Amino acid sequence: MSDKDDIIDLLDDFSIELTPKIALSHQDLRSLLKKGQRIYITCLPESSIAHTLEACMHLLKQGFKVIPHIAARSIESDEQLGGVLKRLQHLNIKEVLLIAGVQKIPKGPYSSVRDLLLAYDFASYGITNLSFAGHPEGSLDISLQALMQAAQFKQNYVQTHQLSGSLTTQFCFEAQPIIHWLELLHQNNIQLPVYIGVAGLASTTTLLNYAKACGVGSSINYLLRHGASVKNLLHLRTPDKLIFQLASYKKQQRETTSLSRLHFYPFGGLSETMNWLNTICAGHFTMIKNGLHVG
């Protein structure tokens, strides 16, 4: 395949992530998103799992595939989690993203994804695919060894329960930390498909604010190195270089890499990001040195 084909291949069946607030603020997204678009719906501390489920129902009616987040530390009781899983089964939702959650103190009995997996048989509620958080830039609270052990536990769980599994990562801005992490997964025999998080179209200022909120340390440093001027802070950034580099890596390491697809974070610029991505998927772009030009 050509470099252009490699990029289109990497973008095949990409997913996006929306907050319940953003999802519900759009009465109808069918003019912007394709039928069956994979949409992850967050469950943030300032929101609630009920809000997440409301957004899921809103999007399901429009023909999209939804993947709700379940944040362990936001679950208040066994009864609440059981009720959520029954609701997902009623909605015929087959895939969820399990995360520990950003809050430090659990609201209920669960403090980690491991706690959730040990407490419930997700398959008995019709769940066929479990996605977990991936951390290419590491974690401030967890050692690299512990992260790899956790990923191994999750892989063993889905294999034992005959489920599909995947790792969906936080957004990143440069390829090298991602590639290094993918190589570590391979060395540790972790073969779960990986969906790499990519920031959508946004200004450097907006991206810095989100990066700080999410604790993405290396990404903050990258943005500061490459967008320090006032002009760059206001300029709309596109992830074309990162997409080009990941597509090149996937082509070179196709036989061994677990890199599967991309997962986009629009950061409020949903229309701009989707129009940009749809243009690329339609092949309306040209290759330039270390990237691509859309238009």
Residues 162-216: tens digit of each pLDDT: 999 999 999 888 899 999 999 999 999 999 999 999 999 987 777 666 555 555 5
Q: What is the pTM of this model?
A: 0.91
CA angle 70, 71, 73 (to 5 degrees): 145
Q: Which residue has the tokens 């270390």?
A: 290
The C-alpha atoms of residue 71 and residue 44 are separated, in whole angstroms, by 8
Collapsed DSSP state (helix, strand, coil) of residue 131: strand
H helix or E strand, kind and range, residue 198: strand 194-199
pLDDT of residue 267: 85
Residue 222: is its pLDDT beyond 90?
no
pLDDT digits (tens, 9 = 90+) for 97-137: 999 998 889 999 999 999 999 999 999 999 999 999 999 98
pLDDT band at 234, cuts 50/70/90? very low
pLDDT digits (tens, 9 = 90+) for 50-93: 999 999 999 999 999 999 999 999 999 999 999 999 999 999 99
pLDDT band at 218, cuts 50/70/90? low
pLDDT of residue 246: 97
pLDDT band at 233, cuts 50/70/90? very low
Residue 261: is its pLDDT beyond 50?
yes
pLDDT of residue 219: 52
CA angle 50, 52, 57 (to 5 degrees): 95
pLDDT of residue 144: 87
Collapsed DSSP state (helix, strand, coil) of residue 119: helix
Residue 259: is its pLDDT beyond 90?
yes
Across 17-24, average pLDDT? 96
Burial class (CB in 10 A: 0-12, 13-18, 19+), 218: middle
Q: Give the orientation angle of helix 204-214 with respect to helix 217-226, to 10 degrees.
A: 160
Taking a C-beta distance cutoff of 8 angstroms, is the pair 260, 166 a contact?
Answer: yes
Instruction: Give DSSP secondary structure letters for 217-239.
Output: HHHHHHHHHHS-SHHHHHSEE--
Q: How far apart are the first and last CA of the chain?
A: 22
The C-alpha atoms of residue 130 and residue 123 are separated, in whole angstroms, by 10
Strand partners, 285: 294
Instruction: Note the residue count of the chain.
Output: 295
In the chain, % of residues over pLDDT 70: 89
Residue 241: is its pLDDT beyond 60?
yes
CA angle 17, 22, 27 (to 5 degrees): 115
User: Residue 169: which of 59, 269, 263, 233 has the closest Cα?
Assistant: 263
Structure tokens at 218: 């290396």
* Mean pLDDT computed over every residue of the chain: 90
